[in-house]
Amino acid sequence: MFRDLSIPAFSMGILAALVGYSASFAIVLAGLTAMGATAGQATTGLFFATIGMGICSIWLPAATRIPAAVAWSTPGAAFLAATATLPGGFAEAVGALISCAGLIVLTGLSPALGRIVSAIPKPIANGLLAGVLLKLCLAPAVALGSIPVLVLPVLVAWLAGLTWNRLAAMPFAVLAFLVVLFFAVDPADNAIQTDTGWLPVVIPVMPVFTLQSFFSIALPLYLVTMAGQNIPGFAVLELNGYRVDRQPLIRKTGIVSLAFAPFGSIPVNMSAITAGMMAGEDAGRDPATRYWAAITSGIVYVLLAFAAALVTSLASLAPLALITAVAGLALVPALIGSISAAFSERTQLEAPALTFLIAASGMTLWGISGAFWGVVVGAIIWLSKTVANRSTDR
């Protein structure tokens, strides 16, 4: 095993971990905060989500000998950030996180459940994903109107990185954010008391389970995680020539997610972006040795987990609008991809459009969020048009 370790794989693993973490930590913090987490609970949730990524990124590649890249559910965190706080606060949100992780484990155990999820038309799944991403993707524009002096340098840095290499866009934006934080933000105006030690205070949250949280949070979070992360992640590996046994990988990420959900951790899942980095030739000439890139990324994630308190403390110094602006920039590529895929079938435009609009609206019906109803309405329209088209063809 250690004979397969190469400098390209080692280097790419470090790069992939740093890109993955810097591009999305703000989204995770925004999602946990929106669900009612205190600063300490957000720190704990970020710590365990990062540890979960690290464990799976070491475990899965070592077991399969493929670059099975793992990430936290970035679209899922964006969904949480755009969703209203539940009546039961963060405790009810933790109950939903546990339920979502349980659904992922069941999917790994039951191929039938996996087939049901895969049967959801891809345009509808992508319409849902685009809908839950939209609100956070609007944050940079909103922040530019309210705090232009703080946001403009971040936008310029993001654009400079995007022009040079799209993978550099978010690291450049984060560096600009830190510069703005140092020179332009008065800590006394925004500081929140946080734990500044290397280890957060690890206190599990007593979960509250309700039907409302299951349908409003757990089920949409599960669908977004599967459609927005797991399925594309598997596709990237397969496109690079790797044979993927999906069920064990889903089951293992689900087990780790379930173990850490009581601490406020969002689910972990297969990654598409970092998988693309670590499954290609830049991670080594021999495809059989590229799994070391994923293992290396896992080691880096474990180390980064111990910076959770520091990261949360730094984020607490910035205005909330600036944090959400950074998070929104990270999601722009995902929004573009999901909108393009949602409207890829010219004969079925209404179903993904309604799914997108309802999911993005922020509406609730009978206490259940628009993300759930968007899928329901989209599926009904899709099925109705399919039946009508078949009747016309006859």
Q: Can you state the angle between helices 111-119 and 246-260, rounded to 10 degrees?
A: 90
pTM given for the model: 0.81
Predicted confidence band of residue 192 (pLDDT cuts 50, 70, 90): very low
Structure tokens at 182: 């140092």
Q: Are 364 and 137 in contact (CB under 8 A)?
A: no
Domain boundaries, the chain: 2-126+136-148+184-327
* pLDDT at site 187: 57
β-pairing, 368-369 vs 364-365, is antiparallel
Average pLDDT for 240-266: 91
pLDDT at 190 over 70: no
List, for residues 30-64, the tens digit of each pLDDT value: 889 989 998 889 999 999 999 999 999 999 999 99
CA 391 to centroid of chain Cα atoms: 40
When computed from its CA atoms, the radius of gyration of the chain, rounded to whole angstroms, is: 20
What is the Cα–Cα distance from 224 to 334, expressed in whole angstroms? 12
**CA–CA distance from 214 to each of 101, 204, 290 (Å)?**
12, 20, 39
Structure tokens at 332: 């722009």
What is the Cα–Cα distance from 234 to 269, expressed in whole angstroms? 10
Residue 287 DSSP one-character state:
G
SS3 357: helix
